[in-house]
Amino acid sequence: MAGRIFSPGKLLLTSEYVVLDGASALAIPTKWGQEFFFEEIEDGESLIYWTALHQHQPWLEIKIDYKKEIIVSTNIPDSAEFILKVLMKVKELSKVQFQQNSSYAITTNLQFPSNFGLGSSSTLMNNLAQWAEIDAFNLNETCLGGSGYDIAVAQERSTIVYQNLPERIVQKVDFNPSFKKDLIFIHLNQKQNSREGINLYRSKEKSLELIQEFSQITRDVLEARNLEDFSELMNLHEKKLSLFLGIETVSEKYFENCPSFVKSLGAWGGDFIMSCKFPGFEDYFRGKDFATIFTYAQLID
């Protein structure tokens, strides 16, 4: 048996960090994601031949004996140990994979640069869970942690409003603003360690009022009818989170004289930011050494 599974990447537009404590968050899927190719080989063995591609170029090769739960060979031991850990959890949870005397040839292909922060891990978790017919949220929580919004985007392949407390709620929404042609996404040339930001956030004392404020911003964003209202909400979001975290906004850090809003997406300090077009915007961002700029249509649809 052979096949292909695909999960899209994601961008978190609202409620970064506070989504961990139940704030409603708006998240959108990206064009790019991760492919997962699999083939079961009925050879009486118990081997996994794992090949990871990055934009179709191989970077990781692993041979695993899944009955002995050992790495037979690999070119990158640290990465192989993580894959072994994940696959053994899949083996534990699944009733359909790794249960017979079969070998498996598995190839993954990450379609976007690994430092983009679009969900290289979450797309892998969702692909594995779909293949193994197990709960992707459970697999992700066990192996990685986090709020799970990225898993929800990968599953639904749709823009969603996500809430995980007191229970997980995933609502598909139609986010198709009339001003989307004016929105742009700029990469900050680095991959942010989201765990550092999460640790900082968790060290702060949260209130129910804080969570409700960000949930309200998410609702207001969905109802924004023009770029001016949307921009005001993005600025408000940045200011509120900056005040709570006690760290400067990305606009204060890099773009203090920017004539438009600048909004962090996900972990602060790296990955993508969102802004909008203004006269000379390309020269402005490139002049600050941020040359990776995408329009909404290029990255989203």
Q: Give domain 180-299's CATH architecture.
A: 2-Layer Sandwich (3.30)
Sign of CA dihedral 244, 245, 251, 252: positive
pLDDT tens digits, 190-213: 766 667 778 888 899 889 999 999
Could you tell me the residue ranges of all domains in the chain?
2-172, 180-299
The percent of residues in the chain predicted with pLDDT above 90, rounded, is 87
Decide: 126 and 66 in contact? Cβ < 8 Å. no
Please tell me the predicted confidence (pLDDT) of residue 193. 64
d(CA 230, CA 88) in angstroms, rounded, equals 45
Identify the pLDDT of residue 269.
76
User: Of 154 and 101, which is predicted with more confidence?
Assistant: 154
* Residue 58 tokens, joined: 């191989």
**Residues 37, 109: Cα–Cα separation, whole Å:** 8
Query: What pLDDT, in 10s, does the model give residues 16-51?
Result: 999 999 999 999 999 999 999 999 999 999 999 999
pLDDT at 230: 98
pLDDT for position 124: 98
Token readout for 72 is 């037979």
The CB density around residue 279, as the number of other CB atoms within 10 Å, is 7
**pLDDT of residue 90 exceeding 70:** yes
Q: Which pTM value belongs to this model?
A: 0.94
Question: In this predicted structure, what is the pLDDT of residue 191?
Answer: 65
Q: Give, in words, the CATH class of 2-172.
A: alpha beta
For 266-270, what is the mean pLDDT?
81
Does residue 140 register a pLDDT over 70?
yes
CA distance 66 to 69: 4
Q: What are the C-alpha distances in Å from 174 to residues 7, 27, 178, 251, 264? A: 19, 11, 12, 29, 22
